[in-house]
Structure 1
């Protein structure tokens, strides 16, 4: 057997052992510790309002909202709102937002690899970035390291989570063209300067529905399913979000 074949076999064995482990430990989960198990909370009563032309589902503790109002093509108006007890006030807005190249689709009907952005209201509890966290940012923030991936491997128990390749448990070596390939975060230095995780298909993901939906910095145009906005908008929004105000993002037409 050649050296290359031996190396490939070793990688495959490592992956199988990681999947078989009862409780794998991710040494790189500083800000996302036990994210798959600790995010589950009792359901709270919700109400529905409209902000900026978008329907929003709120619970009584939500005081910060980002709305994404699809205009045409892949363009959208993205607006940050806050409520300090005297009604909802617009904080900032941009007409230069973008959604996925596949347009909008109801969240439960979304399929991985279609470039669609899920309609609905989703919590935003954490963020990450290749750049340092903005000053005054309070959401748990992970500074991206070499080897960090967002798992999109449907055979992995870590589907739709951030994970370092050294921790194993997913096929990080698959080529980017493969359906089950995971996203190497440092490959997107512009877009992932700062990214806020949108809790679509989390924390109990449905396989093949999609993984890695974020609010991030604009790239060259349409996204692969995320929502993007200008760099200044993302920086200021991330700096202003507060965990105690239960921020959500509402995506609609």
Structure 2
């Protein structure tokens, strides 16, 4: 028998490996989730895109006027920020209930638990894919052209997704045991949104506190690695180093926690 310290991560690796090997399960479930939500709608999932487009237009006009920022600069900024913040916040919120929502499957079907985490992330990635269609339309509307930096958004999205997965895995286990954690996270994310440059630009902060507030905010670094390339800017080295460090530390904690309590999740549901 393996020592306890090595047995827990080994069990976590086995579950995650099995889920990745059977990735088609998560993909199928996620497409069904999106299709079922809009089964009888003619527009379908594009209602989410329409709603996001209206929100971007309204907030872009209001906050652009309040901050006295040229619409050619502010509208693409708030477009990218809202789209990716929606992906981050919804993934985390739904990650809290990933195991709880799949209670029937977990209790009746033998399946890797990590499949339900992947299912949640894939579902939100599908919605993100629909919403990102607004981005080129906004650029066209304000007369801007993307730069070659846009290709850096791809590795940025990969490192963002890797970080979201360990956050969702930890929260999925904790919220299966402590159901009040779901409400706590929803309220916490509301506060974090206002502390993160989503609806305001970093340069609007006072000189003295701007860098400190941004550097200490992990969500700023996570959103920056995809936001800045799409806005024609090169992401800072600090943000990339921070995101990689978050992934290493976060997955270390997640693997131990998941390996330690994986067998208890069905009993908590």
Structure 1 or 2: larger helix share?
A: 2
Same fold (TM over 0.5): no
Structure 1 or 2: larger strand share?
A: 1
Task: Give the structure-2-normalised TM-score.
Answer: 0.27
Task: Give the structure-1-normalised TM-score.
Answer: 0.28
Bigger RCO (CA 8 Å, 6+ sep): 2
Larger Rg: 2
